[in-house]
Structure 1
Amino acid sequence: MKNYRLVLLFIAAVLIAWVAIIIASGAGWNPIGIRWDFSNTGAFGDSFGPLSATMAAAAAVSALLAWNIQRNEVLRLRSNDEQAKNDLEINRDDQTFFNLLRMFQDVVAATDIQRSDGPDKRGQDSFAFILDRVSARLEHGREQAYTVIFNKYINDLGHYFRILYNIIAFIDRSRLPDKYFYVKVVRSLLSNAEIALIGLNCIYGEGLTKFKPLVEKYALLKNLSPSLIEKYQFKSHFAAGAFVRTD
C-alpha cells in the first residue's frame, strides 16, 4: 500500500510538471521548443504525445498495483480463514479431551473389587489392591505374576487400559498445541499403583506394541515411586523418556 501511494504521487508530479511546461510555453518560455498558440495546433497536439504515453504507463502501473493489492487481500482473508479453521479444530480437540478425561475418571470410580476375605475395594484403592496381588506372586517371576493377576481382573484392567491408551493416543494425533500439557493433566490423576500397572502392561501385556512408545514419548511413568521402579526393574525395560521428558 505504501509503494502504491508513492507511485501515484510520482505520476501526479509528472502530470503537474508537464502541464506547467505547456503553460510556460504558451506564456513565452519555451523549454521544450514548442510554442503554445492556435496557429501551430499541430505542434500543440504533438506536445501531448509524451503526456499520452505517460498517462498510458500510469494506467498500466495503477492496474498492476490494484491487482497486487487485491491479490494480497485475498491471501490475507484466506490465511485468516485457515487460522480460524485451525482454532476451531483445536477447540474441538480440547473439548473432546476433557470429555474423554471425565469418562476415564468415571471408569476409575466405578472399578469395584468384591472380596470374601475383607472389605471391598473401590476406585483407586482397587488398583492398589491388584498391585498388591501381583507383588504377592513375585516369587514366580514378574511376568507370570502379572499375567495371572491380569487375567483374574481382566474386566476391570482391560477396560481401564483401553480407555487410558485411547486418551494418550488421541492427544498424540490431535492438533492440540501443547500435547505434553494434556498428558500431564492425565498423569496428575494417576495413583502410584496405577502407574506401576501401566508399566507392567507395557512390558508383559497388550500395551507392549502401541502403548509403550507413547509412555516413553510422554514420560507417563514420571511420578512412579523409586521403590516400585526398582521392584519391577522398570528402567531395564523402558527408555529414559518414560521417566523424564527428554525433548
Structure 2
Amino acid sequence: MAEREETDSAPLWPVIVTLLLAAAAWCANLYYGLSLESDARGLFGDMFGAVNSVFSGFAFVGVIYAIFLQRHEISIAKKEIAYTKTILDEQQKQLSLQNQETKKQAFESTYFQMVRLFTDITNQIDLQKMGKSGMMVTKGKDAFPVFLERLRKAYSPLEKSLYGGHDFESSYEAFYQEHNTELGHYFRMLYNIVAFIDGAEIENQKFYAKILRAQLSDAEVAILFYNGLSQHGVQKFKPLMERYGLLKNLNERDVSVPELRERYKVSAFGNPAKDPGAPRD
C-alpha cells in the first residue's frame, strides 16, 4: 500500500518552480524599483501593476493545478476503491470456501458416527434358531442369510408359504413382524443415514452413499430389496434407494421372484444410463 501511494502521489515540482519564479520576479522588481531615482519610482510603481497581473496569472495557474490535484486524488480514490473491492471479493470467496469446509467437516463427523452406530446395531443382532444339536445363536451379519432363507419360505408364490400367504405384501409383513425386534431398529437406522446424506448441503452426496453401500453384505442387500417394496419402505426409503443405487450389489440368485425387480427404477441397481433422472456415480 505504501508503494502504491508513493507511485500515485501528485508531483510537487510545478508548484515549487512557480513559487520560486514568482518570488524571484517580485524581488527583482522590488530591487529594481528601489534603485531608481525618486521621480522614476512613481512611474515604475505604475508599471509594477503589470507584475501584479503576472501574479494573478500565477494564481490562476495555481487554481488549475489545484483542480488537477483534485482529479488526481479522485483517480487514486477510485483505484483504492477498486483495490478494496477486489480484496473484499477475495475474502468473500475464502469465507465461502471456509464455510463449505466447515459444513463438510460437521457433516462427515456426524455421518461417520452414524455409520459406526449402524455397525454396532448390526453386530448386536442376535438370532436364535433350533438346530439338531440344540439352540443355535447367529449374530451380526451372519444372521442375514438366515433372514433371507426364512423370507424365501415366507413368500413362495408357487406353493403355500410358511405363513400361509401367497402375495408378497402379506408374506413379508408376517415375516417382518416375527423379526421386528432384530430388523426394525436396523432399517430405521439405515434409512436415517441415507436421509441424512440426501438432506445435507454438500457436494458429491453419492460418494457417501457408496461408502454406506459398501458396508452391506449380499444378504443385507437382498433383505433391503424386499423391505423397500413393503409398506415399511415403499413410500420413503424406496425413492432414496433408487436415487443412490443402494441395490447395485444385489445378487440375482437372492431374488426369488424376478418380477419384483420391475417395481424398482433401474437406477436402484446402479444403472443411471437407462434412467436419465438418476444421479450418476
TM above 0.5, yes or no, is yes
Structure 2 match to 1:197: 223
Structure 1 match to 2:265: 239
1:201 Cα deviation (Å)? 1.1
Structure 2 match to 1:129: 146
- Asked if structure 1 preserves the Cα contact closer than 8 Å seen for 2:244 and 2:268, the reply is yes
Among 132, 137, 141, which residue is 1:120 paired with? Answer: 137
1:245 Cα deviation (Å)? 4.5
- Asked if structure 1 preserves the Cα contact closer than 8 Å seen for 2:176 and 2:183, the reply is yes
Structure 1 match to 2:37: none
- Asked if structure 1 preserves the Cα contact closer than 8 Å seen for 2:15 and 2:62, the reply is no
* 1:75-86 correspondence to structure 2 within 5 Å: 75-86=89-100
* 1:39-78 correspondence to structure 2 within 5 Å: 39=51, 40-78=54-92
Q: For the residues of structure 2 that align with 1:232 and 1:196, how far apart are their CA atoms?
A: 12
Q: Deviations over 1:54-90 (max 9, x none)?
A: 0011112222332333333334333322321221111
- Asked if structure 1 preserves the Cα contact closer than 8 Å seen for 2:8 and 2:76, the reply is no
Q: Deviations over 1:8-38 (max 9, x none)?
A: 86875xx479569969xx6xxxxxxx9x933
Describe the SS at the equivalent of 1:170.
helix
- Asked if structure 2 preserves the Cα contact closer than 8 Å seen for 1:218 and 1:245, the reply is no
Unaligned runs of 5+ in 2: 27-50, 160-165, 273-279
Describe the SS at the equivalent of 1:175.
coil
Q: Deviations over 1:100-147 (max 9, x none)?
A: 011001111100111234522111121211110111131323333222
Q: Could you say what the CA RMSD is over the residues aligned between the two structures, in angstroms?
A: 2.9
CA 211–90 in structure 1, closer or farther in 2 if over 3 Å, else same: same
- Asked if structure 2 preserves the Cα contact closer than 8 Å seen for 1:113 and 1:120, the reply is yes
Describe the SS at the equivalent of 2:130.
coil
Q: For the residues of structure 2 that align with 1:208 and 1:192, how far apart are their CA atoms?
A: 20
1:43 Cα deviation (Å)? 1.8
User: Which deviates further from its counterpart, 87-96 or 118-127?
Assistant: 118-127
Structure 1 match to 2:108: 94
Unaligned runs of 5+ in 1: 27-33
Q: Tell me which structure has the larger Cα radius of gyration.
A: 2
- Asked if structure 2 preserves the Cα contact closer than 8 Å seen for 1:37 and 1:44, the reply is no
1:188 Cα deviation (Å)? 1.0
Q: For the residues of structure 1 that align with 2:171 and 2:208, how far apart are their CA atoms?
A: 32
Structure 2 match to 1:30: none
Q: For the residues of structure 2 that align with 1:230 and 1:62, how far apart are their CA atoms?
A: 79
Q: For the residues of structure 1 that align with 2:139 and 2:231, how far apart are their CA atoms?
A: 23
- Asked if structure 2 preserves the Cα contact closer than 8 Å seen for 1:104 and 1:163, the reply is yes
Among 108, 111, 136, which residue is 2:122 paired with? Answer: 108
Q: Deviations over 1:138-178 (max 9, x none)?
A: 13233332221111001111111000000011111113322
CA 233–125 in structure 1, closer or farther in 2 if over 3 Å, else same: farther
Among 215, 218, 227, which residue is 2:253 paired with? Answer: 227
